[in-house]
Amino acid sequence: MGRPVVAIVGRPNVGKSTLFNRIAGKRIAIVEDKPGVTRDRIYAEGEWLNKYFTLIDTGGIEPESKDIILSQMRRQAEIAIETADVILFLVDGIQGLTPTDREVAEMLRKSKNEVVLVCNKIDYNALNESIYEFYELGLGEPIPISASQGLGIGDLLDVVVEKFPSEKDTEYDDDVIKVAVIGKPNAGKSSLVNRILGEDRVIVSDIPGTTRDAIDTRFEVNGDKFVFIDTAGLRKKKKIYENVERYSAIRTLTAIERADVCLIMIDATEGVTEQDKKIAGFAHNNGKASIIIINKWDLIDKDDRTYLKFKNEVKTKLAFMDYAPILYISALTGQRVNRALDLIKQASMNHSMRIRTGTLNDIIGEAVLMNQPPSDKGRRLKIYYATQVGVKPPKFVIFVNDEELMHFSYARYLENQIRNTFEFKGTPIQFEFRQKG
């Protein structure tokens, strides 16, 4: 289930990053290598009254010159309109209304998004009257805050969470497999999606997102239901924002969050890059199932060791996802593309697989017999009992005498023993060790 996305837009110096830092909880690293981008401001997790959301900062692209502020603002607003459920339009209560504010307000008024007008810099000693002129923007009542002094933030967030779309708007039935196709620009994502959808698939419908313009594409193959998440840029080839790295990064991150299975597209002619690692890491850390796709296989000079070479590179550079199957394809010629759907199905089944408590404890019991748990200063780890507490991804709780005695390598060993019986191919599995008694 995708979290609502909240974007902050506004002129330079109105206090966007100050507000961002006030609201932001956990920071999430960004998947881009471009210089000139303030990375830590792009994307964070927010929470208010137990409602979680994704906070994005659409600004922060260094303007190439001072007089392009307006076009910069427009682009920011466009990105927010396409990506966000709720847009916080920030204006400056000290400086007052400017022509740029009017321009942006007009764009936002025409959009279908929920917009909250926020008047910043209404500090302890400021006059509240200064907010009245902003009514003129036609975006409703301005909410007065002071981002730097932390005033009015709670009231603002009350208004924001009220505007979140109801959950059913973005959810699919349980039998629909949600797939995100991710990877660097030019890895071949569009080509793959178009090829899979092009081959006599029954396309159920293109589903416009509720407020954001994300388009998902649903299709069925032999009774199996799939949805490609956020195919807006992929199917139609209208890559308006191709060169806006920040935009594609935000899109990637929100698509991953909404998906069950990620297809990580890697360009064979470039090998596994840093950016690929970051994208894969994000899928892994979010507990998503993954399939690694080495694309453009037709462009590679091959001999009998080529597969192995690629496989080793992936195993080394993406060691944290050794559960992910690797598929070598050419989206251009169609070579092996038909294998993708089977792997997606398999990964998705494993992602939501439950194993019986009895069977799980048999495996763990046998593992303990074969390989004694570690000890420290005369105390030995005892494992009492294990149970699966969740799916997507499978999560296990293991009750022990002292969780401090659990060593990383032993946890790894237990994971391998479980995987020897239930392969869980394509999905990460998670463990939690709990002290008992």
Binding site for ligand GDP (CB under 6 A): 10, 12-18, 120-121, 123, 146-149, 183, 185-191, 234, 295-296, 298-299, 330-332
> In the bound complex, what is the minimum distance in angstroms from residue 53's beta carbon to ligand GDP?
19
| Minimum distance of ligand GDP from residue 319's CB (angstroms) | 24
Write out the H or E segment, with its range, that includes residue 46: strand 43-48
**Min separation Cβ 288 and ligand GDP, Å:** 19
For residue 5, what are its two tokens?
């996305």
Is 234 labelled as part of a ligand binding site?
A: yes
Give whichever of 2 and 93 is closer to ligand GDP, judged by the CB atom.
93
What is the biggest distance separating any 2 CA atoms in the chain, rounded to whole angstroms? 76
CB of 153 to ligand GDP, least distance (A): 10
Q: Is 148 annotated as a binding residue?
A: no
| Of residues 4 and 144, the one with the C-beta less far from ligand GDP | 144
Give whichever of 150 and 365 is closer to ligand GDP, judged by the CB atom. Answer: 150
Asked whether residue 16 is marked as a ligand-binding residue, the answer is yes
Backbone φ, ψ for residue 326 (5° rounding): -115, 130
Which helix (H) or strand (E) segment holds residue 359: the answer is helix 357-370
Given the complex with ligand GDP, which of 101 and 415 has the nearer CB atom? Answer: 101
Question: In angstroms, what is the minimal distance from the CB of 145 to ligand GDP?
Answer: 7
For residue 184, how many other CB atoms are within 10 A of its CB?
Answer: 21
CA angle, 167 then 253 then 158, to 5°: 45
Closest CA to 6 of 92, 113, 112: 113
Is 271 one of the annotated binding-site residues? Answer: no
Query: Smallest distance from the beta carbon of 407 to ligand GDP, in angstroms?
Result: 41
Comparing CB distances to ligand GDP, the nearer of 13 and 420 is 13
434: exposed, middle or buried (Cβ count in 10 Å: 0-12, 13-18, 19+): exposed
Please tell me whether residue 283 adopts helix, strand or coil conformation. Answer: helix
Q: Is 420 annotated as a binding residue?
A: no
Tokens of 271: 């090998």
Torsion of CA 409, 260, 230, 111, to 10 degrees: -100
Dihedral sign from CA coordinates of 321, 325, 331, 337 = negative
Task: Give the neighbor-by-neighbor strand order of the sheet with 215-221.
Answer: 202-208, 215-221, 224-228, 176-183, 261-267, 289-295, 326-328
Cβ distance to ligand GDP smaller for residue 76 or 388: 76
Annotated binding residue 21: no
233 is in an annotated binding site: yes
- Cα separations in angstroms, 191 against 214, 332, 364, 381: 19, 7, 44, 52
Report the nearest approach of ligand GDP to the CB of residue 10 (Å): 6
Shortest reach from residue 147's CB to ligand GDP, in Å: 4
The answer to whether 305 is a known ligand-binding residue is: no
Beta carbon of residue 8, minimum distance to ligand GDP (angstroms, whole number): 8
Question: Was 7 annotated as part of a binding site?
Answer: no
Question: Does residue 317 have a known ligand-binding role?
Answer: no
Give the nearer residue to ligand GDP in terms of CB position, either 128 or 371: 128
Q: What CA–CA distances, in Å, run from 145 to 19, 46, 121, 152, 174? A: 9, 18, 6, 5, 42
Residue 298 annotated as lining a ligand binding site: yes
Say how many residues make up the chain: 437
**CB neighbourhood size of 169 (10 A):** 13
Cα(92)–Cα(159) distance, integer angstroms: 19
Closest to ligand GDP by CB, 83 or 330: 330
Alpha-carbon gap, residue 159 to 86, rounded angstroms:
10
Q: Between 12 and 140, name the residue whose CB sits nearer to ligand GDP.
A: 12
Which amino acid is residue 20, in one-letter code? F
The reply to whether 140 sits in an annotated binding site is: no
**Residue bearing tokens 């294990």:** 386
Least separation in angstroms between CB 239 and ligand GDP: 7
Q: Considering the complex, state which of residue 6 and residue 381 has its C-beta at the smaller distance from ligand GDP.
A: 6
Name the binding residues.
Answer: 10-17, 57-61, 120-123, 183-190, 230-234, 295-298
Name the binding residues for GTP.
Answer: 10-17, 57-61, 120-123, 183-190, 230-234, 295-298
